[in-house]
Amino acid sequence: FHADFIESCNQVRKDRDKLYENLNAFSQLSVYQPDANFIFCRLPDAGLNAPQLTEKLFIDHNMYIKHCLGKTLTHGDRFIRIASRTEQENINLVDALASILGYK
């Protein structure tokens, strides 16, 4: 199964990198270069905070991301952690974020 494992890892990396690229299109969102299968982002100071965005995304779009409120970092209510999934799920997430954040 070694070849299948390597192929799967490469696909995860490719999907994650495309999600990173798509999130970088949001001008006010600070997106941090990932090393894992998730992407860490900082929301702008104005507008929804991370818990509000997480709740809205879940209620309106049935999607879940992790907010960082309560973590040991300054302004944790401004940070989100987005797990990379399949290419189509990542596209759907970016579209949902765009509608919530007012980019579409």
| pLDDT tens-digit readout, 57-66 | 999 999 999 9
Name the pLDDT band for 49 (thresholds 50, 70, 90).
very high
Q: What is the model's pLDDT at position 74?
A: 83
Q: What is the model's pLDDT at position 73?
A: 81
Q: What percent of the chain has pLDDT over 90?
A: 82
Alpha carbon distance 1, 78 (integer Å):
41
User: Would residue 47 be called left, alpha or beta, if left means φ above 0 and alpha means ψ between -120 and 50 degrees?
Assistant: left
Pairing state between β 38-42 and 79-83: antiparallel
The number of residues in the chain equals: 104
Residue 69's contacts (CB-CB under 8 Å, 6 or more residues apart) are 49, 50, 51, 76, 77
